[in-house]
Structure 1
């Protein structure tokens, strides 16, 4: 079975690489130091500092493993290699919902760099899945958990 790939922009990959470096070179040593200090407080069974540091260590190690895996199977998407009017990962798509006049714009990114509050939606989201491969001028029916919506793509950048 093929491993899952993680489509992402070059910017998204760089951000993950920076996060991994910070986790390994800054956060991990800080936690190890906290554990050493907490051990000095005596009885570990009633030592909340030690328990807290060990919990944080577990979360940090899980995140390191997760980021390493995403980077190992990263698939950097070159949006410029796709037709300029076609929606793809790495591009920003602008559309207007039928019966509405207000345009919405989102950059479609890999799930690892998704941040809807910054206008970056995952290629796995219902909106992105419906729009991928479509072109400027197309009308698309999008099935979302909140109901269906019909949109017209007004721009692809």
Structure 2
């Protein structure tokens, strides 16, 4: 039984576009590479053939993984997001109580996470520690460097 993944409409469209690209552009390209390698003769000592077959296997695994994610994705209605407490798709501003650093993250699904752009996966220790909390709460979150107290400064969309 598969686990559902909650995702934004934008994230869902990106997944579908990537899947379509892999199926319509990458798959035929690898098929052509395999065909060209076969045309060169003896497959038992053909490094190009081996490389193309390996690439095909990796591509098919990636396609299967993306299909599974798409099938099990549920699009979140962003108009119904509550900002009274931290939940998925909220933009949360937190302050590290140890060093005073203020950070803002948007909590997103695993497939949409992009730390450099402030999109934090809902499955990270920090996000898990923030879920359900309200502005003003101080949450102690265990991270690889130890336990850090974070104060929730703001919750928005």
Please give the TM-score of this superposition, normalised by the length of structure 2. Answer: 0.92
- The residue aligned with 2:111 is 112
Tell me how far 1:118 sits from its aligned partner: 2.3
Counterparts in 2 of 1:25 and 1:120: CA distance versus 1, 3 Å: same
Question: Which 5+ residue runs of structure 2 have no aligned equivalent?
Answer: none
- The residue aligned with 1:41 is 40
Contact 1:98 1:150 in 2 (8 A): yes
Tell me how far apart the structure 1 counterparts of residues 59 and 49 of structure 2 sit (CA, whole Å). Answer: 15
Matches within 5 A, 1:29-68: 29-68=28-67
Please give the TM-score of this superposition, normalised by the length of structure 1. Answer: 0.92
Matches within 5 A, 1:75-154: 75-154=74-153
Contact 1:79 1:89 in 2 (8 A): no
SS in 2 for 1:117: helix
Question: Which 5+ residue runs of structure 1 have no aligned equivalent?
Answer: none
SS in 2 for 1:152: strand
In the TM superposition, structure 1's runs of 4+ consecutive aligned residues that sit over 4 Å from their partners are none
Contact 1:94 1:154 in 2 (8 A): yes
Tell me how far apart the structure 2 counterparts of residues 92 and 100 of structure 1 sit (CA, whole Å). Answer: 21
Q: Deviations over 1:47-99 (max 9, x none)?
A: 11111111111111111111111110102223442322322111221101114
CA RMSD across the alignment: 1.4
Q: Aligned pairs, how many?
A: 156
Q: Determine if the alignment matches structure 1 residue 19 to structure 2 residue 18.
A: yes
Contact 2:105 2:120 in 1 (8 A): yes
SS in 1 for 2:36: helix
- The residue aligned with 2:73 is 74
Contact 1:92 1:106 in 2 (8 A): yes
